[in-house]
Structure 1
Amino acid sequence: MAETGEHAPAAPFDGTEKPAYWDAAVAHLVKRDRILKKLIPQHPEVHLLTRDEPFVTLARAIIGQQISTRAAADALWERCLGACGRRVTPGAVGRLGLAGLRAAGLSQRKSEYLVDLAAHFQERRVHPAQWEQMDDEAVIGELTAIRGIGRWTAEMFLIFNLRRPDILPLDDPGLLRAISLHYFSGEPVSRFEAREVAQAWKPWCTVATWYLWRSL
C-alpha cells in the first residue's frame, strides 16, 4: 500500500461533503481502467462519507469483529451505547471497565480491547489531532499498537474516517471478491494479482476500492 504523506491536509468537512479529490479521481479511473469505466457511471451522485469521530469509529470496529451479520453487530453496539449513557467515549468506557462491558454483553476479549483503546486515548498514547498531518503508515502504526486493531481495521479507518485517497486494503475479502468477479471471470485472485490490477488506479486506490465495493 502506498503512503500518501505528501498530500495536503483536507479542508474541514461535515462528513457528507464529497472529498475534494473525488472528481479528479473518477476522471483518472474512467480513463485508465476499462472495468471502472463501466462501473462508475452505475453509481452517480454518490461518494465516500465519513463515519463518526475517531474513538467511536474504532470502538465500533472492535465490537463488530467476527460478528457474521450487521444486525447482530448493531444490536451489540446498542447495548454498549446504553451502558455508556448513549455516548461512547474513552471516559465512559474507562468508567465501565471490564465488568461493566461484560455486563453489557461483550466478550471478555472485546471488553479488554475496548478498555485498552480507551486507555490509549485517555493517556494520549495516540494522537488523533495529528492524524490529518501524518502519513498513512504512521497512522497505521499508532492504531495497530492498540489491542484488537489490525492492519485491516486501521485501513478502514483511513478510508472512512480520514478519507485518505490512496488506500488499497488487500486483506479485505470484499475487494478481492470484486476484483475476482470483474477482472478474472470469478477465478480466485492472489494479493499479488490484486496489487497488479491496482497499479492503474494510483494515486486513487481508495476511490477505485469504494466503487468496487458498491458493485457487489
Structure 2
Amino acid sequence: MRNHVQTQPSSKIPFRPRKIRRLSSPSKSLPPSAPSIPLIPRAIARPLSSDGEIELSLRHLRSSDHSLVSVIDSLAPPSFESSSPPFISLTKSILYQQLATKAAKTIYGRFLTLCSGGGDGEPLVSPETVLGLSAQQLRQVGVSGRKASYLHDLAGKYRDRVLSDSSILEMDDEALLRVLTTVKGIGVWSVHMFMMFSLHRPDVLPVGDLGVRKGVQLLYNLKELPKAVEMEEVCEKWKPYRSVGSWYMWRLMESKSNKALAPVEKV
C-alpha cells in the first residue's frame, strides 16, 4: 500500500494557453578551427521563472497525474528565481562538483576573489579571466588540477566561439545537451541541473538522478528503482512540465528522510 502525503485544500488556478517563442539561428560564423554547431530554429517554451508559469505547471500536473495531487498540495510551490549568466553558472557547476556545500562555497568565494583581484566578485568572471589564471593559481585557492582543466576547457570553447551565453539561450534542450557534454567535466546530470536551475527550462527529466528515481519509485509504488527508459515512460504524463514534477520528487523524498536531495544553490 502506498503512503499518501497529507493533503491541504487547493486553490483553483485559471488555465491559459502556454506561449512559446521561436528563435532563429545566429548569423555569426565560427572560426575555421571551431566545430560547427547547427542551430535549427526550435520552439522554446517559456522559462519557469516567467510570470504565471508555475501556476500553469501545477494546474497541468494536478490534472494529468492524480498521484501527484497530494504531494503538490502538501508543499509550497517551487520557486525558480533569476540566476547568473550561463558562463558563470557553468563555472560554478564545475567548482561545486563532488563537494560538500560548505566546502564548495568556500572555494567558490576564493575563486571569485582570484578572478576579481579582490573586486566585485561574479560580474568579473569571464572566459578571458579564467583563461588568464594558471592551474597553479587555481590550486592555491583549492581548485583541483582536474577541475582547473575543466574550467580552461569551458573558457576555451567560449573563446573559440563554440559556445556563448546567447547561443546557449537559443538552443533547444536536445542541442544543448549534445553541445555542453563536449565540455570536459560536464556530463548529462550536470546539464540537466543547469537547464533546470539556471535556464529554468520547464520540461527536463533527470533520469539519472537518484533522488528523482527514488521519488518516482515511492510515488508509484514500484518494486524496483526505475531505469532511464521506465522513467521516460512513467513520467510521460508530466510533459511539458517534467522539471516541476522532478522537483516534487526531490521534495517527496526529503519529506521522508528530512535530508536535502536537490540542488538548492543558484547555479
TM-score interval (norm. to shorter): 0.7 to 0.9
Equivalent residue number for residue 164 of structure 1? 201
What's the offset of the Cα at 1:8?
A: 4.8
What's the offset of the Cα at 1:187?
A: 4.5
Q: Secondary structure at the match of 1:7?
A: strand
Contact 2:95 / 2:108 at 8 angstroms: preserved in 1?
A: yes
Q: 1:35 to 1:60 in 2, by over 3 A?
A: same
Normalising to structure 2: TM-score of the pair? 0.70
Do structure 1's residue 134 and structure 2's residue 171 form an aligned pair? yes
What's the offset of the Cα at 1:76?
A: 1.6
Q: 1:41 to 1:178 in 2, by over 3 A?
A: same
Please list every run of 5 or more consecutive structure 2 residues that lacks an aligned counterpart in the other structure: 1-40, 255-267
Equivalent residue number for residue 94 of structure 2? 62
Give the counterpart of 2:105 among 67, 71, 74. Answer: 74
Farther-moved stretch of structure 1 (87-96 vs 162-171): 87-96
Q: Look up the equivalent residue of 2:165 and give its one-letter code.
A: P
What's the offset of the Cα at 1:186?
A: 7.7
Do structure 1's residue 104 and structure 2's residue 135 form an aligned pair? no
Q: Secondary structure at the match of 1:132?
A: helix
Cα separation, 2, equivalents of 1:5 and 1:21: 20
Q: Look up the equivalent residue of 1:58 and give its one-letter code.
A: L
Cα distance per residue 1:16-73 (max 9 Å; x no partner): x555432222111011212321111223354222432111111111111122x21122
Q: Look up the equivalent residue of 1:120 and give its one-letter code.
A: K
What's the offset of the Cα at 1:159?
A: 1.1
What's the offset of the Cα at 1:195?
A: 2.0
Do structure 1's residue 182 and structure 2's residue 219 form an aligned pair? yes
Contact 2:211 / 2:250 at 8 angstroms: preserved in 1?
A: yes
Q: Secondary structure at the match of 1:58?
A: helix
Cα separation, 2, equivalents of 1:70 and 1:168: 24
Stretches of 4+ aligned residues off by more than 4 angstroms: 17-20
Question: What is the root-mean-square deviation of aligned Cα atoms in Å?
Answer: 2.3
What's the offset of the Cα at 1:97?
A: 2.2
Q: 1:155 to 1:19 in 2, by over 3 A?
A: farther
Normalising to structure 1: TM-score of the pair? 0.85
Cα separation, 2, equivalents of 1:38 and 1:119: 47
Cα distance per residue 1:90-128 (max 9 Å; x no partner): 222111121211121111100100111111122211032
Equivalent residue number for residue 52 of structure 1? 84
Q: Look up the equivalent residue of 2:207 and give its one-letter code.
A: L
Cα separation, 2, equivalents of 1:132 and 1:63: 22
Q: Secondary structure at the match of 1:145?
A: coil
Question: Who wins on radius of gyration, i.e. which is larger?
Answer: 2
Contact 1:56 / 1:89 at 8 angstroms: preserved in 2?
A: yes
Q: Secondary structure at the match of 1:66?
A: coil
Farther-moved stretch of structure 1 (44-53 vs 196-205): 44-53
Equivalent residue number for residue 148 of structure 1? 185
Higher relative contact order (CA 8 A, sep 6+): 1
Equivalent residue number for residue 29 of structure 2? none
Do structure 1's residue 92 and structure 2's residue 129 form an aligned pair? yes
Cα separation, 2, equivalents of 1:157 and 1:190: 22
Please list every run of 5 or more consecutive structure 1 residues that lacks an aligned counterpart in the other structure: none
Contact 1:5 / 1:136 at 8 angstroms: preserved in 2?
A: no
